[in-house]
Structure 1
């Protein structure tokens, strides 16, 4: 696991209980929240990462899935606000 992967996992573990900390993702990682949750979901569903226990993987998988499944209208509205 790369240092960036570790930082993303630590960030998600810390902020998920507060809704995710989406406003801090771009300044911290230089990517949008959607990209962040896509990468994190790929990480926690990968068989290549063994550093994360099953319970944490399951929790983060469900959390990322819920963040990515938000209605498209909210995502469009949020992107318009950011412009």
Structure 2
């Protein structure tokens, strides 16, 4: 097992309890999240993962598969939720109201 593989597995094991440490992947390894999770998944399926607790290996594998199935995002970004108006049928969309200026006293 190479130094790089050891660092990748150690990083994943260290950050697993905190949700993965996604915001640290790019500065630490120079990888986008999709590539990081692909490489980690390969390592978890290799003999290199024998040094890690089997339960943690299962959790990390599940996390990798979950993250790889999400829409593409960059390190530190969060998936965007669709706006409320985007989920409504076009016939029920709210009509924007034009602001009417207030009357000034004395008019």
Band the TM-score falls in, shorter-chain normalisation: 0.7 to 0.9
- Return the TM-score normalized by structure 1: 0.75
- Return the TM-score normalized by structure 2: 0.60
Displacement of 1:55 = 1.9
Matches of 2:52 and 2:17 in 1, distance apart?
18
- Give the aligned partner of residue 60 of structure 1: 60
Structure 1 gaps of 5+ residues are none
Displacement of 1:59 = 1.6
- Give the aligned partner of residue 9 of structure 2: 9
Q: How many aligned residue pairs are there?
A: 74
Displacement of 1:3 = 0.9
- Give the aligned partner of residue 31 of structure 1: 31
1:6-35 deviations in Å (ceiling 9; x for gaps): 111111111122221111111100111111
Kindly indicate which of the two structures has a greater share of residues assigned to helix. 1
Displacement of 1:57 = 1.8
**Rg: which structure is higher?**
2
Partner SS for 1:20: coil
Q: Alpha carbon RMSD of aligned pairs, Å?
A: 1.8
- Give the aligned partner of residue 90 of structure 2: none
Matches of 1:66 and 1:25 in 2, distance apart?
17
